[in-house]
Amino acid sequence: MNRSDNVHDDRGTAGQEAALSVRNLWKIFGKGADRIIGTPDAELSRAELKEKTGCVVGVRDVSFDVAPGEVFVVMGLSGSGKSTLVRCLTRLIEPTAGDVVIDGQDVTTAGESQLRELRRHHTSMVFQHFGLLPHRQVIDNVAFGLEVRGEGKSDRRSRAAEIVDLVGLSGFERSYPDQLSGGMQQRVGLARALANDPSLLLFDEPFSALDPLIRRDMQNEVIRLHQELGKTMVFITHDLAEALKLGDRIMILRDGAIVQVGTPDEVVARPADDYVKDFVSDVPRSHVLTLKWVMREPRPDDSTEGPVMSSDTIVRQAAQAALASEHPVRVVDDGRLVGIVDDDAILRVVVAEEAVTA
Ligand SMILES: Nc1ncnc2c1ncn2[C@@H]1O[C@H](COP(=O)(O)OP(=O)(O)OP(=O)(O)O)[C@@H](O)[C@H]1O
């Protein structure tokens, strides 16, 4: 397939070098997998291919770019290929075909030592099951990556202490993992991932095993850390609410292939197909949609006295002022009138949502 044909969405990197660039990535599990790509068998569905060859498609011809500082969420049902994809990025799983470039370095052709350097210095991963070393105190778990990298004890301890503080674990430096709650253990996981100052953080369903309230705290923690540190993040989840909360963009996978890539409001407003529509059907739309999706063209007879808002205002935030005014909202971007929002456009979103949640 022509490469440019398969780049679903590269707006995230317009005009700048991507932090992560993935092209035509495939992972097929099973014997003879590398002989399938490029043949008609590669076009078979996952079930058909398994039936015919015994091989299983984990990731199917996936291409995307992630911009520096972007939070890119990969979402899909169980078995859609999320974990396989994220593991292929640093070759914890060897891709069957395709290219991965991180910070300008070609991962797919990297030799052993380059790969080690990339894993130690450029990327870090946060796992669902924490992966902490049980016989080490928090401080030494956090410092572990620095130790592997060969840094001296006092340097790595002082760096680890900084990061422990950053993730809100001061006072627990000397605790062992089993003395901590699940949420706190995952804070250690986060701290360990941040300790080597990676440019790319990979999260594989990190909060799926946590209670809902702790999970919300941890999501807020990721948002805070992202605001403070500006790291590029690829975040895997099967939870749409989490995806919408964290993602600058969301990529939805089914059977290993991309179904849609878009901003949260795009995915909710224009689901690419019934699979995505199903996912977003019970999302509170007023919390996600912006005025851009509900405004209409201005007309010469429109009132000029309505409240002024930008097109990226969330409908829920606009609703009160919009409905309180006798005049429709004037949507103004960069000093230019780009649309009008009538009360009924707001009500359609809010009322439809009440019907869903009732
Ligand atoms: N080592 C393997 N050998 C064979 N098939 C595998 C292997 N690992 C994964 N698969 C298959 O690849 C597909 C994608 O699996 P993957 O674990 O990446 O999905 P996922 O979206 O991460 O699912 P989950 O949310 O359940 O973790 C599945 O059909 C899975 O059975």
CATH number at residue 291: 3.10.580.10
Does any domain span residue 203?
Answer: yes
308-323 as b/e: b if 16+ CB within 10 A:
ebebebebbebbeebe
Say whether both 36 and 86 belong to one domain.
yes
In terms of residue numbers, what domain contains 48?
3-122+198-283
Choice from 26, 27, 29 to test ligand 1 binding pocket (greatest atom count within 8 A of CB): 29
Say whether both 98 and 64 belong to one domain.
yes
Question: Which of 23, 136, 19, 26 minimizes the C-alpha distance to 81?
Answer: 26
Ligand 1, CB cutoff 6 Å, lining residues: 29, 56, 58, 76, 78-84, 238
State the distance from the centre of ligand 1 to the C-alpha of 334, rounded, in angstroms: 46
Domains in the chain: how many in total? 2
Question: Which of 1, 10, 63 minimizes the C-alpha distance to 256?
Answer: 63
Say whether both 9 and 114 belong to one domain.
yes
Q: Decide which of 254, 283, 312 is a domain's last residue.
A: 283
Question: What secondary structure does DSSP assign to 286-323, as a single string?
Answer: HHH-BGGGT-B---TTS-S-SPEE-TTSBHHHHHHHHH
ipTM over 0.85: yes
d(CA 80, CA 276): 13
Does any domain span residue 135?
Answer: no
At 354, is the pLDDT very low, low, confident or very high (cuts 50, 70, 90)? low
Q: Decide which of 283, 300, 320 is a domain's last residue.
A: 283
Q: Is the pLDDT of residue 63 over 80?
A: yes
DSSP letter at 10?
A: -
Say whether both 312 and 350 belong to one domain.
yes
Say whether both 276 and 304 belong to one domain.
no
At 5, is the pLDDT very low, low, confident or very high (cuts 50, 70, 90)? very low
What is the per-residue pLDDT for 210? Answer: 85
Beta bridge partners of 330: 308, 340
Does any domain span residue 233?
Answer: yes
Say whether both 235 and 320 belong to one domain.
no
Q: Would you say 49 and 31 are in contact if contact means Cβ atoms under 8 Å apart?
A: no
Place of tokens 């202490």: 161
Does any domain span residue 175?
Answer: no
Give the angle subtended at the CA of 240 by the CAs of 49 and 67, to the nearest 5°. 85
Task: For residue 204, give the ligand 1 atom closest to its CA.
Answer: 22
d(CA 13, CA 96): 26
- Percentage of the chain beyond pLDDT 70 is 94
Place of tokens 């809100």: 168
Task: For residue 238, give the ligand 1 atom closest to its CA.
Answer: 25
Say whether both 254 and 316 belong to one domain.
no
Tell me the pairing of strands 308-309 and 329-333: parallel
Does any domain span residue 177?
Answer: no
When mean pLDDT is compared across 63-67, 134-138, 235-239, 353-357, the lowest value belongs to 353-357
CATH number at residue 108: 3.40.50.300
